[in-house]
Amino acid sequence: MKRVFLKGGLVLLFASLIVNEATAQRTNRRRGNQPASTEAQPQQQVNNNQPVTGVDPYGNLPIRVDSSGGSETVKPSLRNDAAFDKSSVSARTPLTYEHLRADDALFAEKVWRELDLREKMNQTFRYEAKDDNGSQMFIDMLLKAVNSGEVTAFADDRFSTPMTLADISQLTVGSLDTAYEYDIKDISKIVGRVVTKRKFDAKTVVKLRLKEEWVFDRESSRMFCRILGVAPLKTEYLPNGQERGSSIMFWVYYPDLRPMLAKYEVYNPKNMGQSRMTWEELFESRMFSSYIVKSTLDNAANRNIRQYIKDPILALLEGDNIKDKIFNYEQDLWSY
C-alpha cells in the first residue's frame, strides 16, 4: 500500500509541474502580443496641448514607414512618341492682353463661378493620360506648376496671403493607413507595424472656382471678360464615406498661370492631331460649363448666393439672372 501511495504522489507531482510550465509559456506568449506595460515607463504629466513624450503608443513595436504610395513621377519619352514633330508645343507663349484704362471702364463687375468637372462639357478637365510634360489631368498640371515654383499659390481670392510649399503638401497629402506585421512562423504574434501613406487622389477634385471681372470698355465699345484667379475645390467626406461638401485648396493668379497653360494641349476626342487647342485658348474662348455662385452686382453684403438663397434650384436661377443682367447691360447700350 505504501508503494501505491508513493507512486500516485509522484504522478500527481509530475502532472502539476507540466501544467505549471504550460501555463507559464501561454502567459509569456500573450504578453508578447500585448503592448508593454506602462508601469516601467516614466510617469509624465499629460497636457492636452502638448504630446506626451517617452510613451510609445504602439507598445514598443518597430514601426516601418512604407512610402511606395507617394506621388508618381512621369518619365519623358526617350524617342519621338508621335508621327510628326511636336517640339513647337513647348515653345508656345500666350498673347498679351489688350490694355484697359480705368477711365474707359464704364462698367465693371466681379463674378465668381464654379465648374463641375463631372459635367459632359467639362470632361476634358479629367482626361487621364501621361505625356512628356507629365499628367494631362488639369489638377495635376496645376499642382505641378505650384510645387515647381512656376506660380504662387494664395490662401484667399484677393491674392494677399502666399502659401508655402509645406502648406500645399499638407493639403495634398494622402491619408495614413496602419497595418500589423505578423511573424512568419507564428501568425498570431505581432512583430511590428507598417504605416503606409496613400498618394493624393486627383479625382477628389471635382470642382473648380473661377474669379473673373466683366469690364465694358467704352473706347472699343465692347465687353471684356478677364479671368483673375483659379481655385481647385477638394471634396470632403464624413467618416462613414458620405460626401460632406467641398473646400477651397488654394488660389492661383490666372495671368501667372497663362504661360504654363499655353504649353498643355486639351484632349480632343475627334482629332488628336492638329485640331487640338491649348488650355489657355480653352479658358479665353470660354469653352466650359459653369454657374455663378457670387457676384458684386447688387450685393452690398458681399455674400454668396447660397447664403441668402438656400434652395439650390433657385440659387442656379439667381446665377442665370446675374448673367442676364451683365449681358443686357451691353445690349441696352446699342440702339437699333
pLDDT one-digit tens code per residue, 93-137: 899 999 999 999 999 999 999 999 999 999 999 998 888 778 889
Contact 293, 114 (CB under 8 A): yes
The pTM of the full predicted model, rounded to 2 decimals, is 0.71
Give me the chain's average pLDDT, please.
Answer: 80
Contact 201, 175 (CB under 8 A): no
pLDDT value of position 50? 40
pLDDT value of position 118? 92
The pLDDT confidence band at residue 317, using thresholds 50, 70 and 90, is very high
Window from 186-200, 204-218, 226-240 with minimum mean pLDDT: 186-200
Instruction: Dump pLDDT digits (tens) for 151-206.
Output: 999 999 999 999 998 888 888 776 566 666 777 777 777 777 777 666 778 888 99
Window from 1-5, 114-118, 135-139, 207-211 with minimum mean pLDDT: 1-5
Instruction: Dump pLDDT digits (tens) for 14-39.
Output: 556 555 665 555 555 545 444 444 33
pLDDT exceeds cutoff 90 at 7:
no
Window from 78-92, 125-139, 222-236 with minimum mean pLDDT: 78-92
pLDDT value of position 295? 95
pLDDT exceeds cutoff 90 at 309:
yes
